[in-house]
Amino acid sequence: MWRSARFPVLWVGAPLLLVTLFTVVPIGHTLWTSLHSAHFLFPDELSWSGLDNYRKVIAGPFFLTTLKNSLLFTAVTAPVVVGLGIATALLLQRRFTGRAVLRSVVLLPWVLPGAITAVLWIWVFNPSWGMLNTWLRDLGLITSSIPWLSDPSLAFASVAVAHIWSQVPFSVVLIMAALSTIDPALFEAARIDGANAWQRFRFVVWPAIKAMVVVLLVYNALTAFTTYDVVYAMTGGGPGTATSLLSFQIWRESFSMYDFGAGSAVAFLVVAMAGLMIVAITRALPSDLFAATEDEAP
């Protein structure tokens, strides 16, 4: 009888080879480069430099600020993305006229490239001719323009809004997928038992989506921690260092300052921190979170 278990090395080997080629090798090369002096201007000076690149970037003027910004950006955007994803998915589960159209429209930000998203939000936030200031002024809520992208704290918030807007649709899709597994009879039973909206969510919806929520939190934390395109196109990391994130610093060190050793050092630090983040989040999970899924596996 044909069984996949007969050739374990073959079945595991193929994906392992791909992972090795496209993940382990680049990470290994990044580590190797980070331990060498590798500068575009001095191609003949490629030499072992130990931890010098790490010392240089950590002691440099931008690393700690970009690390702080990245952690804050992650802490703010990941929960908001997931929260909005849950709320939107619950809304789209209800029956109302135009639901099908709205479901398609909600997905639109997901298919837009980051650069397009950034341009779109620049048009919203532009202080001179942006839509937001125009609306606020027309509504009589402001008398002078708000510098959304040039005030450091507002710029950070503006970039976070653009990032959240682009990431929510993916959460919506996955939460809707999880919601679709709930037996409608459970809702009916809860209603008959007199459960209010919050109780229905707490005891019917939440158990069905909580594993997906955790997956989304991990995914969005990593996405936020490594995001680059929207920030680059909206603010170029500025003003000053207000929106400079770690991933942006990798690019700046490598392709703006041509110091590939330093850029690789930042990149490897990001990989290490992302790894720690995954471990920390998964350790914090209840041990029975995925139990149901495992029990159901063939």
Partner 1 sequence: MLGMSRSMGMAGVAALSLLAAAAWPPAAVHAKDVTLEFVVWNYSLDTIQDNVRQFEAENPGIKVNVTDYTWPDYHDSVVLRFRGNTTTDVIYGGQDWLPAWAAAGYLYPLDEIAADAIESYKKDLAGFTINDMTYDGHLYGLPYYADTISFIYNQRILKDAAIEVPTSWEEVADAARKLKANGMERPIVYEFNQELPNFYDAFVAQAYGRGGDLFDEEGEAIFNRPDNAAFQQLSWLRDVIAEGLVAFENHESTIIPAMNSGKHAFTIVYNYVLAAMNNKADQPLAGEFALARMPGEAQSTLGFTKFYAITSSAAENRERREAAWKFVDFMAGPPYAVAKRWAIEKGLGFGQLPLLEDPEVIEAWSGWVDMPTLQAQIETARGGTWKEWTAVWAASFRPLMAQAMIGEATVEEVMSQGAERWDALRAQMAR
Q: What residues make contact with partner 1 under the rule CB under 8 A?
A: 40-42, 61-62, 122, 126-129, 144-145, 147, 149-150, 152, 232, 234-242, 244, 252, 255-259
Do residues 191 and 157 touch, judged by C-beta distance below 8 A?
Answer: no
Q: Which tokens belong to 154?
A: 């507002």
Least distance to partner 1 from the beta carbon of 59, Å? 12
Which is nearer to partner 1, 34 or 241 (by Cβ)? 241
Which is nearer to partner 1, 206 or 255 (by Cβ)? 255
Which is nearer to partner 1, 37 or 74 (by Cβ)? 37
Least distance to partner 1 from the beta carbon of 236, Å? 4
Do residues 245 and 239 touch, judged by C-beta distance below 8 A?
Answer: no
Which is nearer to partner 1, 62 or 225 (by Cβ)? 62
Burial degree of 149 (CB within 10 A; 0-12, 13-18, 19+): buried
Q: Which amino acid is at 113?
A: P
Least distance to partner 1 from the beta carbon of 53, Å? 14
Which is nearer to partner 1, 61 or 194 (by Cβ)? 61
Least distance to partner 1 from the beta carbon of 147, Å? 7
Which is nearer to partner 1, 220 or 247 (by Cβ)? 247
Which is nearer to partner 1, 28 or 236 (by Cβ)? 236
Least distance to partner 1 from the beta carbon of 169, Å? 26
Least distance to partner 1 from the beta carbon of 95, Å? 44
Report the DSSP pairing between strands 36-37 and 47-48. antiparallel
Least distance to partner 1 from the beta carbon of 154, Å? 11
